Amino acid sequence: MSRLMLGRTLERICKAVLLLCLVHFLIMMILYFDVYSQRFDIFSRFNNGRGVNSSRGPHHYYYNFSRPNTTFASYLATADHLLPSTKPEANHTPPTPKPLPPCPEVPPGLVGRLLIEFSSQITLERVQRENPNVTEGGKYTPPDCRPKQKVAIIIPFRHRDNHLKYWLHYLHPVLRRQKIDYGIYIINQLGEDTFNRAKLLNVGYTEALKDAEYDCFIFSDIDLIPMDDRNLYHCYDQPRHFAIAMDKFGFRLPYAGYFGGVSGLSKKQFLKINGFPNEYWGWGGEDDDIYNRITLNGMKVSRPDVRIGRYRMIKHERDKHNEPNPQRFSKIQNTKNTMRKDGISSLMYRVVSVKKYPLYTNISVEIGKPPPRPLKG
């Protein structure tokens, strides 16, 4: 009897244990599926909320609709303070680009004295490879700062293709290191009549302004290369003479009123002197006339330090149809009387073609012929 009672007791204990195990298993399963559904809901809502084309609009993350007693109202009330809602990326406005800082007065990438030589063969293809950031028409803008001025570099030109290659080879890297926003304009005088440098410079000023809103103009001969990149090619408070120490003059200023080779004027300064004279046909005299115009209008010529304003000239024979102008001395003496009627205000020419090459803009023009010289007698 006692054994029978013991057997029944053990049976009941086993059934109770088995029942407890079953209950425990059911509870674990419920908890497992509840947690699983929460995780699934989190990630599904996270992905749906980021979808650009989601028609359900923005979602609130980390809230589980599968929980008991959950209503849409309680969902909104609870989720609004958990995480900020996000808008679909289709309506997202991209951030405004940060404005560039002004370019420094003295760019940090300058190297100082340069080695200039003309014995190596230069091709335009090589120059283009060396200056990949120069855009069509010979234009460049610094990508990392905002220049104060926009500079047009004007070069009077005829039959100097080899010189042009050297000039572009040396000047493009210099100007880029100087953080100059610039464009290069080659003003090509067509025909074989007498060359007129100053009139071509007036043409360059006029045509460059048709292309962009320049406020500074650098006028440079094609055969002059700066020997120091600290000679900054931009405009100053006074008209600027850059080429003050050429090798052909023993690296000295030939005379106090010399304004030849490379010079720079702001738009305001250029208009104040009525531009450059148009009636200097042949070599010489126009630079002195320009110097007179500057001083007669109450301005002074500014110059760099003589150690910085050094230039090398590409040696060449004197051009045909650019012989010395025999009338230059008498014209220089009459600048005061002629500068108001002879200049940018009286400029006449005809543009034949404008071609934008990778490294420069070429403008070919007809500028007329010199008037007949008075007979001696």
181 included as an active-site residue = no
- The catalytically annotated residue of 207, 223, 228, 288 is 223
45 included as an active-site residue = no
- The catalytically annotated residue of 221, 288, 289, 342 is 221
287 included as an active-site residue = yes
Main-chain dihedrals φ then ψ at residue 330, nearest 5 degrees: -70, -35
H-assigned helices in 155-246 = 161-177, 197-211
228 included as an active-site residue = no
- The catalytically annotated residue of 181, 207, 279, 287 is 287
Q: Which is nearest to 227 in space by CA: 145, 171, 299, 273? A: 171
How many other C-beta atoms are found inside a 10 Å radius of the C-beta of residue 37?
Answer: 14
Which token pair is 246?
């050429």
Q: CA-to-CA distance for 53 and 24, rounded, in angstroms? A: 45
Q: Which is nearest to 261 in space by CA: 207, 316, 218, 216? A: 218
281 included as an active-site residue = no
- The catalytically annotated residue of 227, 246, 313, 339 is 313
- The catalytically annotated residue of 39, 113, 316, 350 is 316
316 included as an active-site residue = yes
286 included as an active-site residue = yes
- The catalytically annotated residue of 56, 81, 129, 318 is 318
How many other C-beta atoms are found inside a 10 Å radius of the C-beta of residue 72?
Answer: 8
313 included as an active-site residue = yes
- The catalytically annotated residue of 41, 177, 215, 283 is 283
Q: Which is nearest to 217 in space by CA: 285, 290, 118, 145? A: 290
- The catalytically annotated residue of 229, 279, 286, 342 is 286
Residues known to be catalytic: 221, 223, 283, 286-287, 313, 316, 318
